[in-house]
A and B are shown apart, each in its own frame.
Chain A
């Protein structure tokens, strides 16, 4: 009762305003991607010509492919590294180097990109001088850079899940003679799978989105999508970029809708299971 009465208060109004602030610019992008005029801000009738031009732009298409490959491999590696880091920090108690590890896991979350990018480039240059690798900077160096900062995000997501999970199941398995590695793969991993999926998706979008770090550590060979978009956007607004933005927004919205659907379904299932359990208890 109190809840319905409180519906129209200050914070609710701010929430609506905040969501409008977040979404109106994206709606504008989408609407103007269907504009017939080359001038993005003057409406000259409905047209889908910019989508056609987008799909004929070889530079953008090959950049999309490069970005997708880097993001896939960076996210996969980041999930492995991040999960191990999260597990070590939440389950291993105290060990030497723990403070160092937890600092290095949280610092990339806030580190300004220009600093990360510059420092990694200097590392790759130095490595090339000493070991001869990497002779050419490109996809491999971007992959390493993205893996490093993405694994920090994965570690935070997975650690949050590990803290929620009941530790006693793992301990019970170990007491019954299951070795640590087997316990991890047969007990812990299945429980934290949703967090791994969430972490992978987060790392994937972060890698796809990165402009600054990739610009520093990339060589002449590899152009990622943000690098191509940036050099085009610098020249001013272009309806082709609006079309690209619309496709990105559409993809992310559909994926989010799908995630929402599954999360709600599993929540309802869990609620039903809990109710049933309560009934049987009686």
Chain B
């Protein structure tokens, strides 16, 4: 769980969480409009710099976390490489038809997947959920009943994991043997999910009643334990992006890696 491992605080941690989230959504939309792999690769390097040097987590952990990136690259690119539309054929075996266009489109998708993964991990590693929800309430006017429900729910997850462990032991000690096949899988799934879900719903309901009694659901003016605002780190973050993104465009125009500038079919 990301809650209890140690790390150094960096400037990425001090950015306003709402701003960080909004910027990430804007970057997502922006990335969907980029069809030039050269720009995308430079973009990716700019984001990888954030991941590698500024999250404040030790190298070893960063390495372990980045293993799935490779998976992301493969899963997002392979089917496009093998089955994408294209005219300049490179190889063909049965259904598989690799063309130059589909290959580069596949690469493009792979890099795109990696950028999203990197940004997501950067966000997850440098943002405390509690601060995110306080900030959403204060800056984006999220209703307190939603924010506090979310924070309470996050606190319940470790309890649920503990409960799952208990359930596992309970089934074991009673000698419940799993059957094989789809039916066995279904039964196993049911024997875990039903008790977990029902217990969690009961617990959530009890907590909600208590929270309502404590007037957590009242909208309007209220005081907050944490006050979040904006700081110079927000400016640094925005400046970083405002330098890196135009730079990605300029270098891609002057020093392209590939000659293809639009990976969509027929463009």
- A, B assembled together: no
Residues in A lying within 8 Å of B, measured CB to CB: none
Residues in B lying within 8 Å of A, measured CB to CB: none
